[in-house]
Chain A
Amino acid sequence: MQRAVEQRGIPTVSISVALDVTRHVKPPRAVFVPFMMGHHFGVPFHTELQRHIIREALNLVVEARESGEVRSLAVTWAQARRQGAANERAARGETGAEITGA
Chain B
Amino acid sequence: MTTLARKCVPFTPFERELAKSNIAIVTAAGVHLRDQEPFNIADEMGDLGFRIIPPDTDTAQLMVTHHHYDHTDADADINVVFPLDALRELEADKVIGGLARKHVGYMGYTMQLKAMYEGTAPEIANEIDKGSRADAVILTGG
Contacts and interface: CB of A to CB of B under 8 A. Distances in A.
Contacts of B43: none
A26 interface: yes
A14 B141 CA distance: 7
Contact of A47 (B6, B79, B134): B79
Contacts of B120: 1
A39 B73 contact: yes
B71 A38 contact: yes
Contact of A4 (B23, B86, B121): B121
A37 B108 CA distance: 12
Contacts of B95: 55, 58
A26 B89 contact: no
B10 A7 contact: yes
A83 interface: no
B70 A51 contact: no
Contact of A67 (B6, B23, B86, B129): B6
A40 B136 contact: no
B96 interface: yes
Interface of B: 5-6, 8-14, 18, 23, 26-29, 69-71, 73-74, 76-77, 79-83, 85-87, 89-90, 95-96, 120-122, 124-126, 128-129, 134-142
Interface of A: 1-18, 21-22, 25-28, 36-45, 47, 50-51, 53-55, 57-58, 61-62, 64-68
